[in-house]
Amino acid sequence: MGRIYRVGYAGALNGSLKLQGAKNSVLKLMAATVLAEGTHRIGNVPLISDVDVMREILHAIGAESSWTGPHELEITVPSADRLSPYPPVELVGRIRASIVLAGPLLAVTGRARLAAPGGDDFGTRPIDIHEDALQRLGASFEYLDDYLEVKAPRLEGAGLVFEFPSHTATDNAIMAAVLARGTTVIENAAREPEVVDLAAALASMGARIEGAGTSRIVIEGVDRLSPMDHDVVGDRVVAATYLTALGMAGGRLALEGIDTSIMEILIRKLGACGVSVKPVAGGLVAEAGPRPRAADIQTLPYPGVATDYKPMLVAMLSRAEGVSVVSENLFSGRFRYLDELRRLGADLISEGHHVVVRGVPRLVGGRVQAYDIRAGAALVVGALGAENETVITGVEHIERGYDGLVENLAALGADISVEEE
Ligand code: EPU
């Protein structure tokens, strides 16, 4: 028994959608609320299961949240002495983003307990950059059986140089540094738009942060912060999912709630594939012909093409005219969805971190399994270009980060439904 998506062939997509807020921002904003006692408001919150898990984690440490509008959360955080630094290991193990609680919990309680991080199924995901950053700010780590204990009686600003511009390590270091004594400088910081969104929310709480969106971020510690009132930035990975779905099926799509400047290189690549994307006030409009064209693509840290777009791009390119080479430069194991796409008739050869995609005119349907969130989204994109019915299992992975994917695609004319099996 479980939920499945059933997808049939319906041809071109047409219509308009309002885009959800970003999963990879909202989870950090929710963690950041721990930094200030009082009631926070977060708007444009997506209805996704990772948000539910983060609410449970916050509840377990003493912060209560409630929905005050269809996409609006209020989170009430008690004084630091009434916050527990020990979220249940089972809960934090369920979402990778829970690691970003380490920074804020250390900053306000001086302690944190973290599960060996969970999340997606695509290779080793070390946390050494987080650990190094927090240690330089004064924390000590102890590895116990199934969790880590982190302590820092008082955090002190420091100079940090990241070996790699890790997205969540940048979030964590910023949140640890905002209440630390003195100045913290992060060199080789991640530049993702969600880091910029977090910095903007923290600035609205009274934090002093400069340089978010560049690779050098400077944080001046302050004594206290006040609650945030912030709307989550649009989800560029979900936008990419709808755009690749359009590339796969053809048609015309208007998307509201995204600033195209945060996905420029993707838009350029999509243009090369025959999916034209134009900015309009508050969003974009996109058009695609009946079949995409091949293009070579490599994933890189922002502003490069995000690793999160890649599974959907491979799915789209699998029915492109021509041969594409897609290279992964971030996650070693992010290739498991390839076997599932092959089941749908995609002609894919993988070698090291490259995939050669030989486009076929149309995929065929089949029964496939989503192993992680973006792999699942890629199967939905693949199924839209398949001539008979596709059944996708493991959709709970997709629902970790997609708000209303099935309803939205159906509204655009896709033949897709969700069922209990
Ligand atoms: N890395 C290390 N050590 C660390 C941290 C990262 O070696 O301590 C390596 C990773 O193994 C990887 C690379 O650095 O090779 C990039 O990892 P990064 O830390 O930037 O990724 P992340 O912060 O764990 C976030 C998103 C991911 C997204 C990546 C890249 C969240 C919760 N997750 O992960 O999102 O793929 O950045 O942009 O923000 C998703 O939404 O599907 C997703 C997986």
Residues 25-70 pLDDT 10s: 999 999 999 999 999 999 999 999 999 999 999 999 999 999 999 9
Convert the pLDDT of each residue in 229-266 to its tens digit.
999 999 999 999 999 999 999 999 999 999 999 999 99
> Which of 231, 262, 295 marks a domain boundary?
231
Location of structure tokens 């993988």 = 350
**Residue 221 scores a pLDDT above 80:** yes
This prediction's pTM: 0.97
Ligand 1 is surrounded, with C-beta below 6 A, by 23-24, 27, 96-97, 120, 125-130, 164, 166-169, 190, 237, 306-308, 330-331, 373-374, 401
- Residues 63, 182, single domain; the answer is yes
- Residues 107, 225, single domain; the answer is yes
Closest by Cα among 412, 8, 359 to 246: 412
Which atom belonging to ligand 1 lies closest to the Cα atom of 122?
A: 44
- Residue 246 burial (CB < 10 Å; 0-12/13-18/19+)? buried
334 CA → ligand 1 middle, Å: 12
In this prediction, residues 403-420 reach a mean pLDDT of: 97
- Residues 62, 196, single domain; the answer is yes
- Residues 179, 294, single domain; the answer is no
> Which of 197, 231, 265 marks a domain boundary?
231
Number of domains in the chain: 2
More confident residue, 146 or 411: 411
- Residues 212, 240, single domain; the answer is no
Q: Pocket of ligand 1, candidates 125, 174, 266, 353: which has the most ligand atoms within 8 Å of its Cβ, to mutate?
A: 125
Going by their DSSP bridges, the two strands 297-298 and 367-369 should be labelled as unpaired
- Residues 271, 410, single domain; the answer is yes
**Residue 157 scores a pLDDT above 70:** yes
Nearest CA to ligand 1 atom 19: 166
Which atom belonging to ligand 1 lies closest to the Cα atom of 97?
A: 32
- Residues 185, 320, single domain; the answer is no
Going by their DSSP bridges, the two strands 208-210 and 216-220 should be labelled as antiparallel
Location of structure tokens 């498991």 = 336
- Residues 289, 205, single domain; the answer is no
- The domain of 262 spans 3-19+234-420
Q: What is the mean pLDDT of the chain?
A: 95
Q: Pocket of ligand 1, candidates 163, 166, 171, 330: which has the most ligand atoms within 8 Å of its Cβ, to mutate?
A: 166
Q: Check residue 210 and report its DSSP letter.
A: E
299 CA → ligand 1 middle, Å: 13
List, in order, residues 6 or more apart from 161 with CB less than 8 Å away: 187, 188
389 CA → ligand 1 middle, Å: 34
- Listing DSSP states for 380-415 in one string gives HHHHHTBSS-EEEE-TTTGGGT-SSHHHHHHHTT-E
Residues serving a catalytic function are 120
CA atoms of 347 and 358, how far apart (whole Å) = 5
Which atom belonging to ligand 1 lies closest to the Cα atom of 306?
A: 38
- Residues 312, 414, single domain; the answer is yes
The CATH number of whichever domain residue 146 belongs to comes to 3.65.10.10
Closest by Cα among 115, 123, 121 to 145: 115
Lowest mean pLDDT among 10-14, 113-117, 214-218, 250-254: 113-117
List, in order, residues 6 or more apart from 290 with CB less than 8 Å away: 12, 250
166 CA → ligand 1 middle, Å: 6
- Residues 373, 318, single domain; the answer is yes
